[in-house]
């Protein structure tokens, strides 16, 4: 069931309003406390009649709408920029939970519910959600029970590192397990700061080392770096630079791209790229943050560069478009391995706005995908409040006069949501849910005759008791991959695919696998497939020099 929920939160966030007398000392100071009060989160809930509930946080939108400054009280922001990839991740979580509930070998006596929120790819929404998870929405103290009374076991999320870090600072206070499917920042391995954060994706420590190995392999010496201005880009580049130094290579320039559009900062990055003889550039950022930067590269016609892509954009359908190929063709990067998920395709196709008039996310999905307006719905049609390249607010109030009929066919759609050929992070979402389920299963099997401190009953357990089992979880996934977390809650054995952007006969961008980077505690190797050819985006189409 989906709905827009407005939660009144008592005492969790207090806005202290000190109203000082305007006429100086003679007037008495009057201090009033006001409730800052309404969480406004979109999402999906199925919590009734289940033993425990798993929380989820996904970037179903890519940003919040800038608040109207004339409003004095802080209000919960609205979101825009529908993100089809995040919508697919969210659906995958529901699909996995349903699958686990049908299985007899995991948690045979229990079923899992879910409570999923849209993080809008912003820290503020991630924090709101974390508070709602902890307080159970109606009460002013942590009780780990959601509004339906079901017990919250742990959380799957969030997308970006900055969001996971923020959420984890709250969830970690109570040892509520959070299992990341995409947050890769190296700081999240620090268990003093993030005691109950686990992840099904390797830390960027490994990726940054891999990038240096790649650069050495091709004999490049000088490289530039560009990072997004957040915990992902900045820590990624920091570790990269440390590794570059110990490999005796050199960084020609190091710039950040702003989160909130600033022409000045953007031009600084553009000038660094233009003015440097380093033709190889490491770009550490999430695709949702990259569009303005990509447009700058197009505007300044910056070609003849070889981009080393971080995992967050190497397989991005938002960027891998033929019109950007002259600028970003030939990019090389590391991607988490892909997998096929049985039954997911059919599950994804089972989406229609007429099923539930309150399901605002599905209505928005339909409107955005088919470029029409759903009749009689309150969901606005794709407003865009982004700031444009000149720095002015660009309120593109797009309207589609065409009404949706409901007869639109998903089969005719070419859309990231339905593309199941590149299930990478999607597969991580699945494994994150399984990790929680296996840990709960172990907890449910503990020897009650001979109880230990971590032995408990479902649903009456403390979050740290589940964290104990999370640290020891070990299982084989549907695709045969063995999943085991180390003491830092990280996955430290596995491999990345090394991909190269090439065009195919239809003029589309293909992610061609040219090799693998295998890693296991203190053993790394880079292997290039013998027969693969690499596309180089240089004038000569040959390996660029960057010395």
Half-sphere exposure of 493 (CA within 13 A, CB side): 11
Q: Per-residue contact track with ligand TCR, 284 to 323, x per CB under 6 A?
A: --xx-----------------------xx-----------
Least separation, in Å, of the C-beta of 514 and ligand TCR? 20
Nearer to ligand TCR by Cβ, of 184 and 546: the residue is: 184
**Site size for ligand TCR, by CB under 6 A?**
13
Structure tokens of 132?
């709602």
C-beta of 287 vs 364, nearer to ligand TCR: 287
Does 381 interact with ligand TCR (rule: CB under 6 A)?
no
In the complex, what is the shortest distance from the CB of residue 303 to ligand TCR, in angstroms, rounded to a whole number? 25
Q: Does the footprint of ligand TCR cover residue 182 (CB under 6 A)? A: yes
Q: Which is nearer to ligand TCR, 156 or 252 (CB)?
A: 156
Omega before residue 158 within 30° of 0, cis:
yes
Least Cβ distance, residue 428 to ligand TCR (angstroms): 9
Q: Which is nearer to ligand TCR, 100 or 423 (CB)?
A: 423
Query: For residues 125 and 145, which CB has a smaller minimum distance to ligand TCR in the complex?
Result: 125
Q: Please tell me the distance from the alpha carbon of residue 278 to that of residue 284, in angstroms, as a whole number.
A: 17
Answer whether 83's CB lies under 8 Å from 288's CB. yes
417: CB partners within 8 A, 6+ apart: 84, 85, 87, 88, 348, 365, 369
Q: Which residue has the tokens 């004095």?
A: 72
Closest CB to ligand TCR among residues 161, 537: 161
- 154 strand-pairing partners: 54
* Contact pattern for ligand TCR over residues 227 through 256, marking x by CB under 6 A: -----x------------------------
Q: Which of 142, 160, 463, 544 binds ligand TCR (CB under 6 A)?
A: 160
Return the range that interacts with ligand TCR (CB under 6 A); candidates 170-178, 183-191, 326-334, 377-385: 183-191
Among 122, 129, 183, 426, binds ligand TCR (CB under 6 A): 183
Give the shortest CB-501-to-ligand TCR separation in angstroms: 16
DSSP structure string for 332-379: EEEEPPP---TTHHHHHH---GGG-TT-HHHHHHHHHHHT-B-TT---
Say if CB 285 and CB 232 are below 8 A apart.
yes
Residue 185 CB, shortest distance to ligand TCR, in Å, is: 5
Measured CA angle at 188 (ends 65, 160), to 5 deg: 25
CA distance 439 to 231: 29
Asked if 126 is part of the footprint of ligand TCR (rule: CB under 6 A), the reply reads no
Query: Minimum Å distance from CB 207 to ligand TCR?
Result: 9
Residue recorded with tokens 């990726």: 207
Q: How many CA atoms lie within 13 A of 178 on its CB side?
A: 35
Phi/psi of residue 306, nearest 5 degrees: -110, 120
Structure tokens at 462: 């403390």
Q: Tell me the closest approach of the beta carbon of residue 418 to ligand TCR, in angstroms.
A: 17
Cβ(60)–Cβ(365) below 8 Å: no
Where are the strands (E) in 150-309, listed by range?
151-156, 178-180, 197-199, 222-228, 250-257, 280-284, 306-309
Give the residue with the Cβ less far from ligand TCR, 145 or 338: 338
Q: Which of 318, 315, 394, 400 has the alpha carbon at shortest distance from 364?
A: 400
Minimum distance from residue 235 beta carbon to ligand TCR (Å) = 9
Q: Whose Cβ is closer to ligand TCR: residue 144's or residue 425's?
A: 425
Looking at the Cβ atoms of 135 and 184, the one nearer to ligand TCR is 184
User: Nearest CA to 171 among 149, 187, 193, 151?
Assistant: 193
Which residue, 223 or 314, is less far from ligand TCR as judged by CB? 314
DSSP structure class, residue 336: P
Find the shortest distance in angstroms from Cβ 229 to ligand TCR: 12
Instruction: State how far the Cα of 465 lies from the Cα of 454, in Å rounded to an integer.
Output: 5
The token duo for 504 is 């195919």
Residue 184 binds to ligand TCR (criterion: CB under 6 A): yes
The pair of structure tokens assigned to 526 is: 């880079």
To the nearest whole angstrom, how small is the minimum distance from the Cβ of residue 328 to ligand TCR? Answer: 16
Which x/- pattern over 26-65 shows residues binding ligand TCR (rule: CB under 6 A)? ----------------------------------------
Tell me the angle at which helices 231-246 and 204-217 cross, rounded to the nearest 10 degrees.
Answer: 50
Which residues neighbour 376 within 8 Å (Cβ) at sequence distance 6 or greater?
A: none
The piece of 37-45, 106-114, 182-190, 298-306 that touches ligand TCR (CB under 6 A) is 182-190
Least separation in angstroms between residue 184's CB and ligand TCR is: 4
Rule CB under 6 A: choose which of 92, 119, 161, 435 binds ligand TCR.
161
Cα(443)–Cα(525) distance, rounded to whole angstroms?
37
Q: Is 425 in the site for ligand TCR (CB under 6 A)?
A: yes
Residue selected from 185, 189, 203, 435 as contacting ligand TCR according to rule CB under 6 A? 185
Q: Which of these segments, 111-119, 157-165, 492-500, 506-514, binds ligand TCR (CB under 6 A)?
A: 157-165
Find the shortest distance in angstroms from Cβ 41 to ligand TCR.
Answer: 20
Stretch binding ligand TCR (CB under 6 A), from 33-41, 153-161, 347-355, 478-486: 153-161
Q: What is the DSSP letter of 213?
A: H
Query: CA 477 to CA 457: how far, in whole Å?
Result: 26
DSSP string, 125-140: HHHHHHHHHHHTTTSS
| Residue carrying the six token digits 């009749």 | 375
Instruction: Point out which residues bind ligand TCR (CB under 6 A).
Output: 159-161, 182-185, 232, 286-287, 311-312, 425
């Amino acid at each position: 069931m989906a709905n827009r929920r407005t939660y009144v939160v008592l005492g969790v966030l207090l806005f202290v309003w000190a109203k000082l007398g305007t006429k100086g000392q003679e007037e008495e100071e009057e201090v009033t406390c006001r409730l800052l009060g309404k969480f406004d989160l979109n999402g999906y809930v199925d919590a009734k009649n289940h033993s425990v509930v798993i929380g989820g946080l996904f970037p179903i939108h890519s940003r919040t709408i800038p608040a109207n400054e004339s409003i004095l009280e802080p209000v919960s922001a609205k979101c825009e920029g529908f993100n089809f990839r995040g919508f697919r991740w969210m659906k995958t979580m529901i699909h996995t939970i349903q699958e686990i509930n049908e299985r007899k070998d995991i948690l045979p006596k229990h079923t899992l519910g879910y409570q999923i929120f849209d993080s809008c790819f912003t820290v503020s929404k991630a924090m709101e959600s974390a508070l709602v998870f902890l307080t159970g929405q109606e009460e002013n103290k942590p009780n780990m029970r959601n509004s339906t009374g079901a017990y919250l076991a742990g959380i799957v999320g969030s997308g970006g590192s900055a969001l996971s870090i923020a959420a984890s600072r709250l969830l970690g206070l109570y040892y509520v397990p959070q299992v990341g499917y995409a947050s890769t920042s190296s700081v999240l391995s620090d268990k003093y700061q993030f005691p109950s954060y686990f992840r099904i994706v390797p830390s960027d420590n490994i990726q940054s080392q891999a990038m240096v190995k790649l650069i050495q392999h091709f004999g490049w010496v000088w490289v530039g770096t560009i990072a997004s201005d957040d915990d992902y880009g900045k820590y990624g580049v920091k570790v990269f630079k440390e590794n570059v130094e110990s490999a005796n290579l050199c960084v020609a320039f190091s710039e950040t791209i702003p989160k909130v559009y600033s022409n000045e900062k953007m031009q600084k990055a553009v000038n660094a790229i233009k003015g440097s003889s380093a033709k190889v550039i490491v770009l550490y950022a999430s695709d949702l943050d990259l569009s303005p930067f990509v447009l700058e590269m197009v505007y300044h016609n910056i070609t003849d560069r070889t981009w080393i892509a971080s995992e967050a954009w190497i397989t991005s359908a938002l960027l891998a478009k033929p019109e950007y190929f002259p600028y970003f063709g030939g990019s090389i990067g590391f991607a988490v391995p892909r997998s096929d998920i049985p039954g997911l395709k059919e599950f994804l196709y089972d989406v229609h706005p007429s099923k539930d008039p309150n399901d605002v996310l599905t209505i928005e999905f339909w409107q955005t995908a088919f470029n029409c307006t759903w009749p009689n719905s309150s969901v606005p049609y794709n407003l865009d409040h982004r700031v444009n390249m000149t720095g002015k607010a660009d309120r593109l109030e797009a309207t589609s006069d065409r009404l949706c009929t409901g007869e639109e066919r998903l089969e005719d759609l070419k859309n990231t949501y339905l593309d199941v050929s590149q299930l990478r992070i999607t597969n991580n979402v699945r494994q994150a849910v399984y990790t929680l389920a296996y840990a709960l299963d172990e907890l449910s099997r503990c020897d009650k005759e001979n109880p230990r401190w971590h032995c408990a009953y479902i649903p009456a357990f403390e979050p740290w008791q589940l964290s104990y089992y999370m640290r020891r979880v070990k299982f084989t996934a549907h695709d045969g991959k063995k999943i085991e977390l180390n003491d830092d809650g990280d996955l430290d054995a596995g491999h990345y695919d090394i991909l190269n952007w090439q065009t195919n006969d239809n003029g589309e961008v293909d992610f061609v696998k040219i090799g693998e980077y295998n890693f296991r505690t203190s053993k790394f190797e880079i292997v290039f497939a013998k027969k693969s050819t690499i596309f180089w985006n240089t004038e000569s189409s040959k390996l660029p020099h960057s010395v």
